[in-house]
Structure 1
Amino acid sequence: MSQGSQTINQEMPPLDPHPLSEYVAWAGSRNREPILGVLREKLPKDPERVLELASGSGMHINYFAPHFNHLHFQPSDRDIEVFDNIRKVTSEQGNDNIADPVHLDLTKPETWFNPGSAKSFAAIFCINIFQVAPISIADGMMQCAEHLLKDDGFLLIYGPFHFNGVFSTDSNRQFHETLSSAGVAEWGLKDVADLEKAATNHGMELKEKIEMPSNNFSLIFGKTRKL
Structure 2
Amino acid sequence: MSGPRPDIDPHPLSPYVAWAGNRNKDPILETFEEFFPKQGDVLELATGAGLHINYLAPHFPNVRFQPSDYDRDVFASIKRCRAEAGNKNVADPVLIDLSVPATWPGADERLYDVIFVINIFQVAPVSIADGVAALGAKLLKPYGFVAVYGPFKLDGKYTAASNLAFDREIRAAGVPGWCLKDVRDLQSASEKYGLTLKQKFELPANNFVLLFCRP
With structure 2 as the length reference, what TM-score do the two structures score?
A: 0.98
SS in 1 for 2:34: helix
Partner of 1:108: 100
Does the 8 Å CA contact 1:74/1:100 hold for their aligned counterparts? yes
Structure 1 gap ranges (5+): 1-7
Aligned to 2:179: 188
Q: Secondary structure at the match of 2:108?
A: helix
Q: CA deviation at 1:10?
A: 2.1
Deviations 1:157-185 (A, max 9, x none): 00000022111111111110111011111
Report percent identity of matched pairs: 50
Runs of 4+ in 1 over 3 A off after TM superposition: none
Q: How does 1:24-103 map to 2 (within 5 A)?
A: 24-45=17-38, 47-103=39-95
- Per the alignment, residue 3 of structure 1 pairs with none
* Residue in structure 2 matching 1:23, options 9, 16, 23: 16
Q: 2:190 aligns with which of 188, 199, 206?
A: 199
Cα separation, 2, equivalents of 1:115 and 1:160? 30
1:123-145 Cα distance to aligned partner (Å, 9 max, x none) = 01100000000000101110000
One-letter amino acid matched to 1:223: R
Paired residue secondary structure (2:33): helix
* CA positional deviation for 1:11: 1.6
CA RMSD of aligned residues (A): 0.9
How far the C-alpha of 1:115 sits from its partner, in A, is: 4.2
Q: Aligned partners of 1:143 and 1:114: how far apart in 2?
A: 12
Return the match for 2:135 from 121, 144, 166. 144
The amino acid that maps onto 2:134 is: Q
User: Is the Cα–Cα contact under 8 Å of residues 207 and 222 in structure 1 kept in the other structure?
Assistant: yes
Structure 2 unmatched runs, 5+: none
Q: Distance in 1 between matches of 2:128 and 2:119?
A: 13
Distance 1:86 1:63 in 2: 11
The one-character-per-residue Cα deviations of 1:25-79 (angstroms, maximum 9, x if unpaired) are: 000000000000011111112x200000000000000000001001000000001
| Whole-Å separation in 2 of the counterparts to 1:189 and 1:174 | 11
Aligned-pair distance for 1:198? 0.3
Question: Would you say the 8 A contact 1:117–1:148 is kept in 2?
Answer: no
Match for 1:81: what amino acid? D
CA distance in 1, matches of 2:3, 2:12: 18
1:165 is matched with which residue: 156, 179, 182? 156
Residue identity opposite 1:24 in structure 2 = V
CA contact (8 A) 2:200 2:210 kept: yes
- 3-state SS, counterpart of residue 162 of structure 1: coil
Quote the residue 2:123 is aligned against. 132
